[in-house]
Structure 1
Amino acid sequence: MTMRLSSVRKTFGSHAALDDVSLEIDTGDFFVVLGPSGCGKSTLLRAIAGLEPIDSGDIHLAGTQVAGKGLHQPPEARNVGVVFQSYALWPHMSVRQNVAFPLETAKRAGTYVTARTNNCLETVELTPFADRKPADLSGGQRQRVALARCLAQGAKTVLMDEPLANLDPHLRSAMEAELAEFHKKSGSTTLFITHDQREAMALADKVALMWDGKVLQADTPEGLYDRPVNERVAGFIGRSTILSGEILAVRGERALVSLAGHAVEIPCPQDTEIGMARIIVRPEHVRTTGEDRDLETVVDRVTYRGGFWEANVRLDGQEQAVLVNIPHKAAAGDSLAISIDGGWVLPA
Structure 2
Amino acid sequence: MSIQLASVSKSFDAHKALNSVSLSIEDGTFFVVLGPSGCGKSTLLRAIAGLEPVDAGEIKLSGQAVAGKGLHLPPEQRQVGVVFQSYALWPHMNVAANVAFPLETAGETRSAVAARVAECLETVALTPFRQRKPAELSGGQRQRVALARCLAQGARTVLMDEPLANLDPHLRSTMEEELAAFHRASGATTLFITHDQREAMALADKVAVMWDGSILQADDPDTLYRRPNSKKVAGFIGRSTLVPVDVLRVENGEAQVRFGNVIAVVDCPDQTVSGPATLLLRPEHLVLATGTSGFEATVERTIYRGGYWEVFVRLEGLSQPLLMVLHRKAEPGELLQLDILRGWVLPE
TM-score normalised according to structure 1 size: 0.98
Equivalence for 1:258: 258
Residue by residue over 1:11-66, the C-alpha shift from the partner in whole angstroms, topping out at 9 and shown as x without a partner, is: 11111111111100000100000011111100100010000111111111111101
Equivalence for 1:105: 105
Equivalence for 2:50: 50
Is residue 68 of structure 1 aligned with residue 68 of structure 2?
Answer: yes
RMSD in angstroms over aligned alpha carbons?
1.1
Residue by residue over 1:130-176, the C-alpha shift from the partner in whole angstroms, topping out at 9 and shown as x without a partner, is: 11110111101100100110111121111000011111111111111
Instruction: Determine the C-alpha separation between the residues in 1 that align with 2:310 and 2:197.
Output: 20
Shift of 1:294: 2.4
Secondary structure at 1:5 match in 2: strand
Q: Is the 8 A contact 1:242 1:320 kept in 2?
A: no
Equivalence for 1:136: 136
Equivalence for 1:286: 286
Equivalence for 2:166: 166
Equivalence for 2:36: 36
Is residue 80 of structure 1 aligned with residue 71 of structure 2?
Answer: no
Equivalence for 1:296: 296
Equivalence for 1:210: 210
Q: Is the 8 A contact 1:34 1:41 kept in 2?
A: yes
1:189-268 map, 5 Å = 189-268=189-268
Q: Is the 8 A contact 1:297 1:338 kept in 2?
A: yes
Instruction: Determine the C-alpha separation between the residues in 1 that align with 2:336 and 2:209.
Output: 35
Secondary structure at 1:271 match in 2: coil
Instruction: Determine the C-alpha separation between the residues in 1 that align with 2:315 and 2:36.
Output: 30
Residue by residue over 1:70-99, the C-alpha shift from the partner in whole angstroms, topping out at 9 and shown as x without a partner, is: 111111111101011110001111100000
Instruction: Determine the C-alpha separation between the residues in 2 that align with 1:200 and 1:29.
Output: 13
Q: In structure 1, give the amino acid aligned to 2:111.
A: T
Equivalence for 1:272: 272
Residue by residue over 1:265-310, the C-alpha shift from the partner in whole angstroms, topping out at 9 and shown as x without a partner, is: 1010011101111000011111113136422222221000111111
Equivalence for 2:149: 149
The alpha-carbon distance between structure 1 residues 77 and 292, as it changes in their structure 2 partners (threshold 3 A), is farther
Q: Is the 8 A contact 1:260 1:295 kept in 2?
A: no
Equivalence for 2:322: 322
Instruction: Determine the C-alpha separation between the residues in 1 that align with 2:253 and 2:346.
Output: 12
Shift of 1:330: 1.9
Q: In structure 2, give the amino acid aligned to 1:21.
A: V
Secondary structure at 1:320 match in 2: coil
Q: Is the 8 A contact 2:34 2:207 kept in 1?
A: yes
Residue by residue over 1:229-252, the C-alpha shift from the partner in whole angstroms, topping out at 9 and shown as x without a partner, is: 011100111110101111111111
Is residue 115 of structure 1 aligned with residue 115 of structure 2?
Answer: yes
Q: In structure 2, give the amino acid aligned to 1:139.
A: G
Shift of 1:334: 2.2
Q: Is the 8 A contact 2:205 2:221 kept in 1?
A: yes
Bigger mean CA deviation after superposition, 318-327 or 88-97: 318-327
Instruction: Determine the C-alpha separation between the residues in 1 that align with 2:60 and 2:331.
Output: 57
Instruction: Determine the C-alpha separation between the residues in 2 that align with 1:312 and 1:303.
Output: 9
Is residue 313 of structure 1 aligned with residue 313 of structure 2?
Answer: yes
Secondary structure at 1:141 match in 2: helix
Residue by residue over 1:183-235, the C-alpha shift from the partner in whole angstroms, topping out at 9 and shown as x without a partner, is: 11111100000111111001100000001111110000011000000111001
Instruction: Determine the C-alpha separation between the residues in 2 that align with 1:122 and 1:341.
Output: 48
Shift of 1:319: 3.0
Instruction: Determine the C-alpha separation between the residues in 2 that align with 1:4 and 1:256.
Output: 40
Secondary structure at 1:87 match in 2: coil
Instruction: Determine the C-alpha separation between the residues in 2 that align with 1:291 and 1:342.
Output: 19
Q: Is the 8 A contact 2:261 2:316 kept in 1?
A: no
TM-score normalised according to structure 2 size: 0.98
Gaps in structure 1 of 5+ consecutive residues: none
Q: Is the 8 A contact 2:288 2:337 kept in 1?
A: yes
Instruction: Determine the C-alpha separation between the residues in 2 that align with 1:102 and 1:42.
Output: 23
Instruction: Determine the C-alpha separation between the residues in 1 that align with 2:156 and 2:318.
Output: 50
Q: Is the 8 A contact 2:261 2:317 kept in 1?
A: no
Is residue 3 of structure 1 aligned with residue 7 of structure 2?
Answer: no
Instruction: Determine the C-alpha separation between the residues in 1 that align with 2:137 and 2:341.
Output: 50
Identity %: 63
Q: In structure 1, give the amino acid aligned to 2:110.
A: G
Q: In structure 1, give the amino acid aligned to 2:127.
A: T
Q: In structure 2, give the amino acid aligned to 1:167.
A: L
